[in-house]
Each structure stands twice: as C-alpha cells, then as structure tokens.
C-alpha cells in the first residue's frame, strides 16, 4: 500500500495510523448518544458528524445517515463496495494534503475527540455467536493432556472446522469485569459433583470476525466468496471454566463453562486494512472436501497475552502467538457454517477458538501454558499461577507490522472479580 500520512501526528508504534481506520461505536462523557466513529492515533474521529456535514458524497453513502446509529449493523449490511467507499473518503479527508479538515479548526473541534472524553460501546448488536476450534496446535495439546493414550486429534478434526454455538448475550466489551462463575464440578476421585465457584478459570486467546451481508436461509456461502461477507476483525478472550467444562462437556460440548463472559476489543479492523499482511496458512493434509477447498491464506497478526496480579506493578507477557498458526481460515469457517443453509446475519460474530503456536511460550491458554497445572507459571512477585485468581488482570493485544507502520487491533482487557455468595440449596419449595 502506498504510504500516506495524516495532518494529525501519529506515533509510529500506534495501532491506528491512516492505513488502519477501524470502525467502532462511541459516545462522549457529556453526550450519551452512541454513534459510529473511527480511530486515528490518539483520537476518535466522529464519522457521523462528518456525514452530517455532507462529506460522504459517494454514490453508495450520499443522503444516508448510516453512521448516526448506535451499532454498525446497518453499515455492515451494505457490503464491500460501500465499505471501500467510506474508507477511501476517510483516507482523503484525513490526509495531510487535504485542507477540508486540516484548515478548519471549528470543524475539527466537532469531529476529533480525545480518548479520555470517549466511552466505547459494543460495535454491533450481536444476534448470534459461533466459536470454532481452528488451531491444530491447541487441539493437539488438549488431546495429549486429556487422551494421552489416543491420537491427539479426533478423526474429524482435519476434515472440517469444528465449532459450537455460543451465547451472544454475554459478549462484553473490553474493560468489563469478569465475575468468577459457579457450577457443577466433579472433584478428583469423587463419585458425585459439588456446586462451587470454578477453581480453574482460564483465558482463551482468539480472533473474532463480524459478518457483514448475510445469506438467505437455505443458500450456502461459497468458500471463494466468503470474505465478501466478513466485515472485520476483533480480539477475543473467550473466558473458560475448565473444571465446569470437564464435567459437563460430554456428550454435547461446552455450555455453562463458556456462557458467562466473552470479551472483545472495541475497534473492528477491516480486511482492506489487513490486506497487505496476508500470509500463507499451513498445508492442509488431507485435502478438504470440495466445498472447503480454497487458497490457504490467513493474516500475519502478532498476538500477545499479558497477566497482572493484584500484587504486581506491571503486566508480564506470558504468551506470544500469531494468527497464521490457524489450520482453518476464516473463509472456510464461513463456508462450513453455512453449508447446511444456515443463514448468517449482519453483526453475527464468529471466533477462531484458541490460537496456540508450536512452542511452549506460544500457547493461547493457561491450560496449556501451565500444562494442566503441572508446570505453574512463576510471576515476578513469586506468586504462581495455574489458573486465574481473583484480582488478576488479563490483557490481549495484536498487530500486523510493515516497514514504517503497523495496523493493530488495540487490546481486550478484563479483570477477574470474586463471585457473589453462591446460591444455597433450598430445602423446601412452597407453592401458593
């Protein structure tokens, strides 16, 4: 991509140069009206205000109020041509050689907002959420831990992108506290379960992607057209209660162990911004069935996980991974999801599942990093961790790098808080 610069000074380490221009929903501290904006360096740019001033004059957006909305769903539904038109308009307006904003101080004061003045909101009204299991390294690690006498991968794993339908109502924005969940747990050696707070709360390093235009019920999306349905990417932490999951997951898979919180980052980074960072994916062997066959490409996005306990002064990086480690790519996930005729809708969120790499320090969960509790992590304070404790803060960040600039996704952050008093069983139930 041709290097362009803005009239706004942007640090070279910023995730949000003019080459990025992600989409998000924000309001101001003194104005609670959510609307759509973009991020440029340390500023939030009010795209709704730009449109209200008549500055989106392209044929697909002229005369609409698509950015004066509390969610991105309507814009997501417009498709690639409208997204590209909006992106081109913004890059022109914000470029160093365009005087429209550069030389109009009054207009800039209406459009540019410091981060400290801004409240971020979920970027979309999320109707449905699906979580996949697309990292071979992660799936193999779990198989080695829980099925040491069998093959690490189940027979279907390299034939299809395994996934499950998650809970959209408990998707929360970065910064939301995560309350330790309670559930049924089978203690080691016990014959019957107990009801207790999870003692094995974990994070999962994932990427998520929002659906733009959907598909009609009964009409699958071709794998070679799937990216036309992907609006953009966010960071995902799909918090997991491993002990609850271990007792409940057979025969139907995750339920309560996953439904209490899924955190996402606030800025949706487009495929157009990430296009310069395409990367070959792993060789898929055996060759997938025809409906999943496509160029095995992904994105070279560096991912980093940091942990900070209540006693630590600064976060400690505990894992470094990369999106290119995924075995199944996003197009294959969309194609598989819809092959039955399942209809995806604008604002639906799909996630990759835990992204682990080939080395011990590139695992995307504490389950792997501490190898099911047998290799505790030692923190600078001398504390150890096999799973997350109350007061722990978990930060995931990710970015793609080229000479001179980076395109990043910001971060997704969450802090673990103690559960409220667990519900006590009632000895009698009186019905009147």
Q: Domain coordinates of the chain in residue numbers?
A: 23-121, 129-417
- Give the per-residue pLDDT at 425: 52
- Give the per-residue pLDDT at 364: 98
Q: Give this prediction's pTM.
A: 0.95
- Give the per-residue pLDDT at 3: 67
* 3-state SS, one letter per residue, for the chain: CCCCCECCCCCCCCCCCCCCCCEEEEEECCEEEEEEEEEECCEEEEHHHHHHCCCCCCCCCCCCCCCCCCCCHHHHHHCHHHHHHHHHHHHHHCECCCHHHHCCHHHHHHHEEEHHHEEEECCCCCCCEEEECCCHHHHHHHHHHHCCCCCCCCCCCCCCCCEEECCHHHEEECCCCEECCEEEECCCCCCCCEEEECCCEECCEEEEEEECCCCCCCCCCCCCCHHHHEEEEEEEECCEEHHHHHHHCCCCCCCCCCCCCEEECCCEEEHHHHHHHEEECCCCCCCCCHHHCCCCEEECCEEEEEEECCCCCCCEEEEEEEHHHCCCCHHHHHHHHHCCCCCCCCCCEEECCCCCCCCHHHCCCHHHHCCCCCCCEECCCCCEECCCCCCCEEEEEEEEEECCEEEEEEEEEEEEECCCCCCCCCCCCCCC
Single out the catalytic residue among 15, 138, 325, 336.
138
Q: Give the chain's residues under pLDDT 50.
A: 1, 426-432
Architecture of the CATH domain 23-121: Roll (2.30)
206-265 pLDDT tens trace: 999 999 999 999 999 999 999 999 999 999 999 999 999 999 998 888 999 999 999 999
- CATH code: domain 129-417 is 3.90.850.10
- Give the per-residue pLDDT at 385: 98
- Give the per-residue pLDDT at 429: 39
Task: Respond yes or no: is residue 165 known to be catalytic.
Answer: no
């Amino acid at each position: 991509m041709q290097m362009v610069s803005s009239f706004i000074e942007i640090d070279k380490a910023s995730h949000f140069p003019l080459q990025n221009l992600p989409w998000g929903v924000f309001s101001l501290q003194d104005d609670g009206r959510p609307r759509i904006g973009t991020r440029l360096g340390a500023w939030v740019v009010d795209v709704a205000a730009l449109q209200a001033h008549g500055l989106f004059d392209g044929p697909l957006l002229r005369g609409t109020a698509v950015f004066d909305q509390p969610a991105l769903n309507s814009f997501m539904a417009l498709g690639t041509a409208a997204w590209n038109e909006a992106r081109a308009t913004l890059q022109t307006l914000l470029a160093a050689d365009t005087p429209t904003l550069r030389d109009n101080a009054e207009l800039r004061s209406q459009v540019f907002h410091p981060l400290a003045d801004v409240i971020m909101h979920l970027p979309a009204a999320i109707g449905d959420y699906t979580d996949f299991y697309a990292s071979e390294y992660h799936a193999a690690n779990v198989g080695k831990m829980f099925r040491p006498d069998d093959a690490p991968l189940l027979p279907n794993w390299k034939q299809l992108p395994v996934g499950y339908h998650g809970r959209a109502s408990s998707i929360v924005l970065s910064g939301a506290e995560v309350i330790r969940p309670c559930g049924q747990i089978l203690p080691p050696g016990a014959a019957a379960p107990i009801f207790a707070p999870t003692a094995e709360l974990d994070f999962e390093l994932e990427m998520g992607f929002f659906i733009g235009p959907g598909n009609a019920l009964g009409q699958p999306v071709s794998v070679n057209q799937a990216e036309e349905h992907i609006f953009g990417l966010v960071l995902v932490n799909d918090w997991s209660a491993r002990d609850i999951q271990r007792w409940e997951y057979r025969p139907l898979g995750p339920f309560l162990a996953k439904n209490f919180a899924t955190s996402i980052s606030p800025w949706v980074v487009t495929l157009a911004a990430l296009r310069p960072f395409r990367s070959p994916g792993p060789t898929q062997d055996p060759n997938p069935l025809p409906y999943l066959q496509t160029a095995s490409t992904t994105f070279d996005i560096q991912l980093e996980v940091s942990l900070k306990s209540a006693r630590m002064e600064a976060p400690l990086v505990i894992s470094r991974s990369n999106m290119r480690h995924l075995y199944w790519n996003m197009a294959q996930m969309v194609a598989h999801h819809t092959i039955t005729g399942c209809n995806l809708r604008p604002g639906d969120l799909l996630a990759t599942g835990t992204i682990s790499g080939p080395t011990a320090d590139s695992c995307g969960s504490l389950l792997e990093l501490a190898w099911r509790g047998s290799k505790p992590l030692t923190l600078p304070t001398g504390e150890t961790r096999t799973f997350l404790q109350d007061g722990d803060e978990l930060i995931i960040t990710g970015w793609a790098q080229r000479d001179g600039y980076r395109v990043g996704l910001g971060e997704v952050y969450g802090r673990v808080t103690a559960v409220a008093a667990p519900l006590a069983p009632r000895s009698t139930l009186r019905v009147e």
